[in-house]
Amino acid sequence: MSEGRKRIIRIVVAALGLTALLALQPESARLVASAWARGEAARGPVMRKLILSDQARRYLALQYRSYSTEFMGCMIGETRGSAVVVRRIAPADVEPRHSTPTRVVPHQTCEDAGWSGTVGMIHSHPSGERCWYFFPGTQVATSDGQSFAGQPYPVDAIMCGDHVAWINRDMAEAQLPLVADTVRQPVVPLMR
């Protein structure tokens, strides 16, 4: 074998080795951030708290009891500092055949369906099971986690019976009891 040919082989092997080494490197933070976050919500603060209005809580409780298939809604509200305040839940545009006990797919976005002020999506797990965005004990995203990654909203939520599981753009999961956090005092009639 000639010296020229040996030199070319060494260059090709070195290039392949360098390519393999670069392929094994973790992705840059910039690439990961752009993959997880889309739209203007990507540049805003990370949401640390989800607040549901009484109307939103009532709607979720009624929807959850009414269907044996997954339902989907658009969380309408605003962000305030590091909190997302959900004023109401609007129904997402879902064709009945696209809602099963384990899956729901919207026909169009919340905005295309006419809902402005959408801060996130919410869907149910009728069985109240598997209400997480990562498989337990791993960093492997479930289909719900993967779906959230493709959305422009700051939060996403899963209705799971007596609580709501939700996630923010930092991919931090949390739970929110469906029952209001405040204890309502009974009304005591005034004696005159």
Backbone angles phi, psi at 126, to 5 degrees: -55, -30
- Name every residue whose Cβ is closer than 8 Å to that of residue 142 and which is 6 or more positions away in sequence: 130, 132, 133, 134, 135
Pair 103, 61: CB distance under 8 Å: no
* Local structure of residue 141 (DSSP, 8 states): B
Q: How far is CA 166 from CA 29, 120, 171, in A?
A: 23, 10, 9
- Name every residue whose Cβ is closer than 8 Å to that of residue 27 and which is 6 or more positions away in sequence: 35
**What are 57's strand-pairing partners?**
none
* Local structure of residue 189 (DSSP, 8 states): P
Which residue do the tokens 């986690």 mark?
145
Strands 118-124, 103-104: pairing is unpaired
Q: Which of 148, 151, 157 is nearest to 175 (CA)?
A: 157
pLDDT at 143: 93
Pair 176, 166: CB distance under 8 Å: yes
Give the pLDDT of the chain (192 residues) as one tens digit per residue: 788 888 888 887 776 665 555 544 444 333 344 444 444 444 567 888 999 999 999 888 888 888 888 889 999 999 999 999 999 999 898 888 888 888 888 888 999 999 999 999 999 998 889 999 999 999 999 999 999 999 999 999 999 988 999 999 999 999 999 875 444 433 333 333
Pair 131, 158: CB distance under 8 Å: yes
